[in-house]
Amino acid sequence: MNKRNRAIRAALGLGALMVVASAGDAAAQCGRASWYALTSKTASGERMNPAAMTAAHRTLPFGSQVKVTNKGNGRSVVVRINDRGPFIRGRVIDLSKAAARKLGFIRAGHTSICMTRIK
């Protein structure tokens, strides 16, 4: 752990490691991801396509592009936000089945990820 993180943890009295994002990557976020494969309409109005590289996020604007990296195996994909969710506590993003397949967690159903908004 570097000096900056130690200083921040000490100042805030935190016992756990804190993720600090700089202004350049203000949308960086780590957490749990799951996948879904509905065929209904998404919150943006388009039909959900399990074969597309799309995702659901609670607050990012529709059309945002996000690079998602599976912390378990290092694989990354770029997805477009077109839906709202996830609605499960502790999850930060729901990915399409195609994105989950490329990240290698179809069987598990969920995994640890880090994501960064790129557009």
Give CA–CA dist 36/55, Å, rounded: 9
Alpha-carbon distance of 106 to 37, in angstroms, equals 11
51 within a domain of the structure (yes/no):
yes
* Number of structural domains in the chain: 1
Residue 3, domain member (yes or no): no
Does residue 10 lie in a domain region?
no
The answer to whether position 54 is within a domain reads yes
Question: Does residue 76 lie within any of the structural domains?
Answer: yes
Structural domain includes residue 1: no
Beta-sheet pairing, 65-70 with 110-117: antiparallel
49: domain CATH number is 2.40.40.10
pLDDT, tens only, 57-113: 999 999 999 999 999 999 999 999 999 999 889 999 999 999 999 999 999 999 999
- pTM confidence score: 0.75
- What is the residue range of 55's domain? 24-117
Residue 26 confidence (pLDDT) above 70: no
Q: What is the pLDDT of residues 38-66, one digit of tens each?
A: 888 999 999 999 999 999 999 999 999 99
